[in-house]
Amino acid sequence: MGTPGRAPETAGDTIPFRFQPGGFLLVLSGPSGAGKGTLVERLVRARPECVFSISATTRPRRATEHDGVQYEFVSRDEFERRRSAGLFLEWAEVHGHLYATPIRFVDENVRAGRVVVLDVDVQGGASVRRVRPDAVSVFIYAPSIDALRERLLARNTDSPETVERRLEDAPQELAQYREYDYLVMNDELEPSVARLVSIVDAELARVRRLKPAR
């Protein structure tokens, strides 16, 4: 007689004692100034199995940015060539500039058991969830519009006009949090990093992702 609540064992069954977590796609979204970039940097540093997926963009490079680090900066013609060739997992136009996620990097690293981290706006987040419904999505929420304004101005990378345009979009972007699996209120950095790391750890422990280690 079998144990209640447990499927009966069959001849030849082996019980694994070590497991290897499977990889997955982790999508972080939120309005400009929410602190996504800083959280991604800290997460990748804290968890070696996490890798950051560098997006391609037609946006001009800022003085503090380096090609191939924050983004891959490409011309609009090159972007459209890659899009036509099916090289992007998703793409979106935000504030007049094109952004996209290279599909090859994502697929190769997820198959290798890594957590591929995307830092995308809410439009990109919606696109990823449509094409990869198994992705884990986290919304990075700002404590207030004033906090967003302070962060954007302190960043000193955009004109005042651009900052105000981003702030005008923020309420509509913040309302999208309901579409995500998790929410991290980024009011204080260290607790926010800890919450994000705990989400990754929990997802790595999901039984459906575990494989017996060889």
**Taking the domains of the chain in order of start, what are their residue ranges?**
20-205
Extended beta strands in 70-128, E state:
71-73, 88-94, 97-102, 115-119
Unique residue bearing structure tokens 């950051």: 52
Per-residue pLDDT of the chain (214 residues; tens, 9 = 90+): 444 554 444 445 678 888 888 899 999 999 988 999 999 999 999 999 999 999 999 999 988 888 988 899 999 999 999 999 999 999 988 878 999 999 999 999 999 999 999 999 898 899 999 999 999 999 999 989 998 988 888 887 778 888 888 899 899 999 999 999 999 999 999 999 999 999 999 999 999 888 888 7
Pick the CATH number of 20-205 from 1.10.3720.10, 3.40.50.300, 3.30.470.20, 3.40.50.970: 3.40.50.300
Burial of 194 (0-12, 13-18, 19+ CB in 10 A): middle
Burial of 154 (0-12, 13-18, 19+ CB in 10 A): exposed
Unique residue bearing structure tokens 């702030």: 167
User: Using an 8 Å Cβ cutoff, are 19 and 72 in contact?
Assistant: no
- Model's pTM, two decimal places? 0.83
Unique residue bearing structure tokens 């499927």: 7
